Structure 1
Amino acid sequence: MRPSRGETIAVLLSDRIIRGEIAPGERLPSEAELAIEFRASRPVIREALQRLQTLGYVRTRTGAGSYALTPPSLSEGDDWLSARGPAERAELHTFRTAIEQEAAALAARTRTESQLAEIDDAIDQFLPAVLPADTVEADFAFHQAVAAASGNRFIVEAVDRIGARAIVVPASRIASAERRGDGISIVAAEHAAVADAIRGRDPVAAAAAMRAHLFASVTRLGTGRP
């Protein structure tokens, strides 16, 4: 059976999300813009967006549009950190947690003042972020800064290769301004807890704070809470 027009458009848009042309948290073009681009009717575009939402590529909020989520599957050839499907995404998150909690512990032992300043700067950039895509960029910058402060080039490489696609985009980042602000404050507080432990040169607390933050981020994605 040939795919419907809506299914075909959904595949084309999902490819853009997977390739990073539409970043996690970025707003997709409007229905009207997509209708013009694909020379399709609005109902067909709605079918495509609904399919993308069902597959986990986007989250749609009435009156605000559709926003890309962290891609549920990746097709980057030899990228050994690609995750295809829920089971592999869970494995990738476990790997990421192991790597990043060790990065935080190492950073607490070896960080320099300039590296600590980079971590603090990433937190400062995250707080005023408004657009979902901006929050993803600032969020990832924080994790990169912690990895850099670890002083381990393999950890830095692993975090870079996992990339911003690992930053989950919960409903709170694609919600009303008030609820989005609550969600940003919660994540910023979690980042600050990691930074404070690194500042205090407490590797056990730094690892625990990073592990708690990553666990909370996945919990937020599953529950839709801030």
Structure 2
Amino acid sequence: MVLGGARPPRVGRFTMPKGAPFAPVRTVKAYEGIVRQVEDRIAAGDLRPGDRLPSERELTTQFDVSRSTVREALRVLESSGLIRSRPGDPLGPQVIASTASAMRKSFARVVASRRLGVAELLQFRMLIESAAGSVAARLASPSELDELEQALVEMRDAVAHGYEAFSAADVRFHEHVASLSGNELLVLCLDAVRSMVLDLISTKLAEAPDREALMERTLAHHRRVLDAMRAGEAEEVARLTRQELHHYYAEYVQEHRRSMVDVLL
């Protein structure tokens, strides 16, 4: 597989919008260019789990760079969870299945590069988590809902061990609901966006007053969600999910952007 080829020119004319100046040019390091090309090939499906990249020697030839540059690119790709690389492997680095960790890192890069904030992330989470809950309410079997009941019991038990233990149990409950949708992409996306929201407001959450009341409110909400799921009320599950996410996080959205999340209530 050749990775260093130029893309074909775009067809048609492009008119620069008024008042839209070009952005300053940033010099891209050679290894970053290699990483970007490999990421693009994986995203496009040209490289799939189990596929092999060319050997280090072949990559140095294709990209016309030093071996140390290739190795730095492979190190970045491996730390991102996209490939498995062994020095001297004659078969070349192997593309591996995407993991939740890799998804979080990729999502974080997009959020940072686009300068997205809590408003965009919360709106996205309200949309997809409510959809996941709605689908789960339609598909979950009685035994699967019993397992979700156990996750709620674990949340109740975690209250005595403090807010961090409770938060971990709360995440497991949300993950369980998402998994009941049967859609792995929803699970991965929710894991990524949940992590990003918490990263952006972690300091404010740590300073939140009256955590005891917050935990009790969360438990009561999850009970209502589970009861609605048992009753097969998919739309009610979606509504409750949006409502609680808004109540929990909307105060961290800038006032002039609050309408982005208010509109979903």
The TM tier, using the shorter chain, reads: 0.5 to 0.7
Residue of structure 2 equivalent to 1:185: 216
Question: Which residue does 1:216 correspond to in 2?
Answer: 247
Quote the offset at 1:166 in angstroms: 3.5
1:133 and 2:164 matched? yes
Aligned 8 A contact 1:126 1:188 in 2: yes
Decide whether the 8 Å contact of 1:108 with 1:203 is kept in 2.
yes
RMSD value, Cα: 3.0
1:206 corresponds to which of 228, 237, 242: 237
What is the match of residue 187 of structure 2? Answer: 156
5+ residue gaps in structure 2?
1-103, 254-265
* Equivalent pair of 2:136/2:177 in contact (CA under 8 Å): yes
TM-score calculated relative to the size of structure 2: 0.47
1:94-113 matches, cutoff 5 A: 94-113=123-142
What corresponds to 1:68 in structure 2? none
What is the letter of the counterpart of residue 245 of structure 2? L
The Cα of 1:109 is off from its aligned counterpart by 0.5
Greater Rg over alpha carbons, structure? 2
**Structure 2: which amino acid aligns with 1:136?**
S
Deviations for 1:52-85, whole angstroms, at most 9, x for unmatched residues?
xxxxxxxxxxxxxxxxxxxxxxxx7533576449
Alignment of structure 1 residues 1-226 onto 2, 5 Å: 78-79=106-107, 83-84=111-112, 87-129=116-158, 130-167=161-198, 179-219=210-250
Offset of 1:153 from its aligned partner?
A: 2.0
**Deviations 1:115-165 (CA, angstroms, capped at 9, x unpaired):** 212322222222232322212211111111110111222211212333445
Kept in 2, the 8 Å contact 1:173–1:184? The answer is: no
Please give the secondary structure, in 1, of the residue aligned with 2:107: coil
The offset of 1:193, in angstroms, is 1.3
8 Å contact kept, 2:163–2:211? no
How many Å separate the matches in 2 of 1:128 and 1:221?
Answer: 28
Identity of aligned residues (%): 26
Structure 1: runs of 5 or more not aligned: 1-75
> Following the alignment from structure 1 to structure 2, what is the Cα–Cα distance between the partners of residues 117 and 141?
15
SS in 2 for 1:124: helix
> Structure 2 vs 1, CA of residues 118 and 173 (structure 1 numbering), >3 Å: closer, same or farther?
farther
Which deviations, in whole Å up to 9, do the C-alpha atoms of 1:27-68 show, x marking residues without a partner? xxxxxxxxxxxxxxxxxxxxxxxxxxxxxxxxxxxxxxxxxx
Distance 2:110 2:156 in 1: 29
In structure 2, the partner of 1:26 is: none
